Structure 1
Amino acid sequence: MVKFLLRVIVNGLALWVATLILSGMEVIPSSTFADTGDSTVNTVIAYLVIGLVFGAVNAVVKPIISLLALPLTCLTLGLFTVIINAGMLMLTVWLTTYLPMQLTVDAFWWTAVFAAIIISVVSMIANGVFGLNRSRQD
């Protein structure tokens, strides 16, 4: 359970860094979801919920798309993986339109592609720091 929560936090952190760097990407928190009266708490909750949705999309949909796109990924020497990651981000944007808080991306080219690269790099670093990539050794 702790690893799951850490992964959600890492996803939220990666999305936060991407929204800081890219002007075309924004998280819109909702004041109706958690009526705390504090906009900072609402923003943190929004990033965590969107991080949860992004993690679910990457866990369920991405393996299927990656398998189907394997010939194209091999042909481009793995560069098509960036496009798949951007597609998963756009799917997350679409799914969050049904939530009180929303993730918005203004364009697939170049905002979503750059966001996918930023999220991948931040996730890789944070997973290394928290030790989420290590295999369990008893």
Structure 2
Amino acid sequence: MINLIVRLIVSTIVVIAASRVLQGFYVDTTQTAIMVAIVMGLLNTFIKPILLFFSLPITILTLGLFYFVINILIVYLCDYLVDGFSVSSILAALLFSLGLSLAQAIVGIFLD
């Protein structure tokens, strides 16, 4: 349970930092950032594996580069689902997903 809370806090911090650093990436309030972190966690847990499974041939064909497209789609889906959160450029969505993945990987190293 503590691992989940730590990951949620780190994700929220990454969302807030991204909204201040990246142009084209906007988060309304801290509560919205928490909601974005929760929704991103749920989408990465349930939807992303399904997308990865069905896009496996094209991912192999592009030598893994299509994985970035899936990450961008997940961010845009989160943008659609959460009010007060908007992403207006593909580059901002890509950089956010990479930053979130990097932060979660670092947290995973320390928690495991």
Residues 1:126 and 1:67: Cα distance change in structure 2 (over 3 Å): closer
Query: 2:16 corresponds to which residue?
Result: 16
For 1:104, the aligned partner's letter is S
Q: Tell me, which stretches of 5 or more residues in structure 2 are unaligned? A: none
Task: Say whether the 8 Å CA contact 2:8–2:38 is kept in structure 1.
Answer: yes
1:84 aligns with 2:70: yes
Instruction: Quote the sequence identity (%).
Output: 28
How far does residue 54 in structure 1 lie from its aligned partner after superposition? 0.9
Secondary structure in structure 2 of the residue aligned to 1:78: coil
More helix by share: 2
Deviations 1:59-104 (A, max 9, x none): 110000011111111111111111100100011011113xxxx211
Which one has the largest radius of gyration? 1
Whether the aligned pair in 2 keeps the contact of 1:15 and 1:119 (CA below 8 Å) is no
Alpha-carbon spacing, 1:113–1:63, altered in 2? closer, same or farther (3 Å) = farther
Q: 2:94 corresponds to which letter in structure 1?
A: A
TM-score by length of structure 2 reads 0.84
Aligned to 2:99: 121
Q: State the Cα distance separating 1:122 from its structure 2 match.
A: 4.6
How many residues are matched?
A: 112
Whole-angstrom CA distance in 2 between matches of 1:51 and 1:134: 19
TM-aligned CA deviation for residue 49 of structure 1: 1.8
* C-alpha separation in 1, matches of 2:100 and 2:49: 21
For 2:85 and 2:47, how far apart are their aligned partners in 1? 18
Please report the TM-score for the alignment, with normalisation by the length of structure 1: 0.70
RMSD of the alignment, in Å? 2.1
Structure 1 unaligned residues grouped into runs of 5+: 30-42
